[in-house]
Structure 1
Amino acid sequence: MASAGADWRIWAQRATALALWLLLALPLLRVAALDRLWPQDQVLTLLEHAQDALDAGRLTAVDGSGARELYTAAIAMDPDRGEAREGLARVALAAAAQARDATSRNRFDQARRMLDLARELDAPRAAVEPVADALRKREASRLGIDTMLRNAAAARVAGNLDGAPDAALPLYAKVLSLQPERTDAIEGREDALADLLQRARAELDAGKLADAAALISTARGYDAGHVDLPETEAAFARSRDALQSRADAALRRGKLVDAERDYRQLAALPDAPASAKQGLHEVALAQVRNAEKASADFHFDRAAAALDRARAIDPATPGLREARAHLARARVAQRELRPAPVGAKRQREVQQLLAQAAAAEARGDLLTPPGDSAFDRLRVARSLAPDDKAVIAASKRLLPAAWQCQRTQLQANSLARSRSCLDAAAALGADRSEVNRARRALALRWVDVGEERLRGGDVDSAGQAVEEARRLDASVPGIAELQERVRVAARP
């Protein structure tokens, strides 16, 4: 009896534990069951709404309430649900039926929309093509094909080829969309395109490449296989190459206004060549160089105009900021200048300037500070009395110091400072061939710096070194190769 009582207590404990476990687990089991059932309820609801929309003829709607959108949503929730795919097939057939009805009512836009829907939903060709054929015939009959052809021919004779619904090419395109095999429409379109391409070649002859490119693109859109298109495209390519050559020649001759105009025309073309952008960059650099020279000669308006042109091309042109600073420094020096005195008074002022220049030279202030440097004081004296023997003598005395500064700074690898000293030597009347040799040597050093920076992975600094070298001597050996490597390395 004791053993039976113990067994009973054990079973009672186990039953109690099981009941407690079920009590705790029941909510979790219920949630899992609802999670399995709820998507199915949603799918069924979508299918019901989709069928209602189909029955109401609401096949598609931008707000998602159309039969197409609802069946698609059901498929997204349950890809294996066959009813949803069957529903989409019924929508496709219903779209073909609505297209047929719209055609019979001369609602051509609606008919085309429904045909598009039927095709998107893979309606059988047997259901779509007869409706499409009927639509073309009925629309042609309604619109009057013969009338459109007569209007197209008249528009062509009047030179109204494109750009408006009643122009020749749009009318021919409309006819061919309705009756693709209409021979007179095909021939009329070909003749109109021949006229359009002839117009493009005339624009090329007038140097209007952008207008010609637009006409060629229009012709290609109507018929990419037109017989005159290859010849016209070849003529366009020749004109573009000639414009490039003309721009390059203008840049070499220093005709910067002409070069900028031609490079801008190249840059405005579709698929503009990279050389157009590079050419504009070269023009901007040349304008900066011109501004530097004009500032040194106290031609401030000319310098400012050159800087404005450079900024209009590219506000980030290398050297632009430095050139503006140079212009400001030259203005400071110019403010020291009064109307040229005459006789003894002028001589006294020149002597004072020469004394100030000598004092600055003795202090070692060859180029700085702006306005008080030996070079700036002597420059003012030169502007007052360029033929004065004392001024000429001072220039000759200061010139070796400028050259020594240039060489010392170059040996110290202070290339920017070396450039400033070289500019001073040039302004003091140094031999041009000697200046050119020094410019090339300095440019070669900048190329070496660019090579070193590029090997170190500093692409931006390498690019700046290339620009400094180009400003000094654009033909220095190695610059073209380095520039190309920098360009490749800068690609994202």
Structure 2
Amino acid sequence: MRANRRRRSDGTGEGSEPGEDSTHDWGDTGGSDSTVESFEVGPAPAGRRRRGARGEGQGSGDGAGRGGPRERGRAWRWVVPLVLAVLLLLYLFRVPLADYVLPESAQSRLLASAERALAADTLTRADGQGARELYAAVLALNPDHEAARAGLARVAARALETAQAALAADDRGTARDRLVLARELGVGQALLAPLEDELRRRDSVEDELDRLLADARAAEAAGRLDGGADSALAHYRRMLDREPGNPVALAGRRSVLDRLLEQAESALMAGDPASAAAGIDRVAAIDPRHAGLPSARVAMSEWMRAALVEVRGEIEADALDAADERLTDLRRVRPDDAEVVAEVERLAVAWIARGHRHLADGAPEAARLSLLRAQALVERAPGLVELQRALAEQGASASAGADPVAAAERVAAALRAAEAAMAAGRWLPPAADNAWQHLREADRLAPGDLAVGRARLAVARQARQCLARLSTPADLEPAEPCLAVLAEFDPADPDLPGIRFNLAERWIGIADERIGAGEPAAAARALDAAERVDPGHPDLPAMRRRLEQVGEGGRH
């Protein structure tokens, strides 16, 4: 085996040509020497050593041409860090570089997003996706970008526009936010000031509306629906004065009007048509389109038809006082109704007919009273002149034995003085030398005299006008003497209770205002006047207690 190995090593083995290098069969020449040497046991032949020497020389020459491993290692030491540094810089500055390479791409995307946000009315957003923030981002990339600057100006204009629209819709929260945005974007004070002033005014109005609403609901809960400064309707009216169309005030007023119509219906069923008609008219004056008015008016019309039927029957039965009382209710309800006017004329004719019967029975005083009742209904009723003439003839024959000249002169003098006082405007007390005091003397001298009766009727009508003119607190002072004249002229006048009630109601309202203003003395005077006019007014006790509580609070 050794011999064989030696022969293969020397290149003289079987299948080898003399002088041919057998290392070719082992692949890479760089590793052939070591491989061959690992199989050699003895010294190599001389020829082999020469070939090895040549191979070493050649290998040394090849290594010198390619560079050794040490030189290649030193080259990689600086190439790798350099590549990594370049990659890191590219990563860190990828956006600026992209914008540098494609400068319009990022700006265009931001600008398009800003336009979409503005079109959607998304003017600002906390996450930066509002039109304002997106335009600002474009300007951050390019401070000279004209489209972005114009976009911010459009955002400011839109903010001002939407603030105006929000105020018009009473959306004060949105209006406030939009005004802040407009100010931050540089909208001028001249444009902002009117809107900011209006916003402040609405805020103050809202506070006042809240207070008025609380007062209105408290009054409604206490049953003070109408008729005073502290009533529910008064508070709702103030709310609507401050903010016309306020839905809460309209709903509250509608609820109060419903309750007033319910009260009117109850009054009609209880036989108080005047109060029922007053309630219906009150609701119609406040809200002519109130939903409950048609049914209430139908009920009132049905009552009127039934009442007119009864009036006709009472006139035919000569129950004139009952007919007069019922017609008084009808005249209060519908004074201009054609059927009511016709029945009033029929009743006046019936009174005149009764006057003639009294004369025929020898009762001239009763005849004169019937005449006055007819005149109170219709001033120129058919047959009135004939009854006056008959009464005058009977009066002349009855006074034939007395001194007619002296009596007539005294009555005439009193009438002249009364007419002069009327011409001077001194119709009623407390004016000195007033017409009423002269007519009182004339009536004492000639009771039942028709001229005196007509003059007294004229003064009584003036007193009614005085009471109808109660529009301010200053009108209340002369109202009491006017009421006294009416009561003296006809103590049985069916209108007197209502007149007393309304006048006392006005005084009680003034007392309520004076208590609220911290003027208990003035409130006490107003309550005294109310008590003189109508001592039985139902609101007097409660107002007296309230005044006493205010006095006790002041003492504490």
Measured against the shorter chain, the TM-score band is 0.3 to 0.5
User: TM-score, with normalisation over the residues of structure 2?
Assistant: 0.33
User: TM-score, with normalisation over the residues of structure 1?
Assistant: 0.37
- Structure whose CA Rg is larger: 2
